[in-house]
Structure 1
């Protein structure tokens, strides 16, 4: 349903390192690099998540972005990557039955303060 999402970053190299490491277990990597803008893609090779330098002024508001994980083990691998990065863990991997049975997710904070989730919808 979502074609693509772009977020502005205060420190693009730090955000690139964060997302490349965190999302590697999901098969997501930088597919396009325009210097001040990066397009990250999954196995299909089409960039759907974009990172760019901050270009608009004012306070940045937190966004929430959730990436689909194939299974619980992949969510756990994202959690391990977040621990390796030393980033803030908002919620360790667990099932969230209030969303629906089988909703298993981890939530972490990116370098710009955004809430990043990896979620598996399996049973």
Structure 2
């Protein structure tokens, strides 16, 4: 359903470094970078499908509107890898990795903040069957 998401960042370079470092175990990497017509970098991040689904650009509207972004992880180990990288980055951990049975029995996720205060999640779904 979701094609792409764009986030406004106070420091695009730092945000791109954070996302690619912390979400590396989910296959997130920088695909493209260019200068916007009005100035400032725009960075397109992709996952294993090599399609730029997460865009980072300069903050235009600095009102307080945190976003919740959930990134699919290929395994529980990848979620744990995101957690370790987020801890290494010194970011705020909202919830350590665990199963969230209130969502469904195989919902395994970690929640943390990005440098701009957005609520990020890495999640792996295991369905019985």
TM-score by length of 1: 0.95
Partner of 2:11: 11
Unpaired segments ≥5 residues, structure 2: 36-40
Residue of structure 1 in register with 2:118 after alignment: 114
| Match of residue 97 from structure 2 | 93
Counterpart of 1:92 in 2: which secondary structure?
Answer: strand
- State how many pairs are aligned: 122
2:103 and 2:14 map into 1 onto residues whose CA distance is 32
Q: Indicate yes or no: 2:75 matched with 1:81.
A: no
- Aligned with 1:34: secondary structure? strand
Greater Cα shift, 95-104 or 34-43: 34-43
Deviation at 1:12, TM superposition (A): 1.1
Unaligned segments of structure 1, at least 5 residues: none
Cα deviation for residue 60 of structure 1 reads 2.8
**Moved >6 Å (runs of 4+):** none
Counterparts of 2:42 and 2:122, CA distance in 1: 23
CA-CA distance at 1:62 after TM superposition: 0.8
Higher Rg of the two aligned structures: 2
Structure 1 residues 59-70: aligned runs within 5 Å: 59-70=63-74
What does residue 20 of structure 2 align with?
20
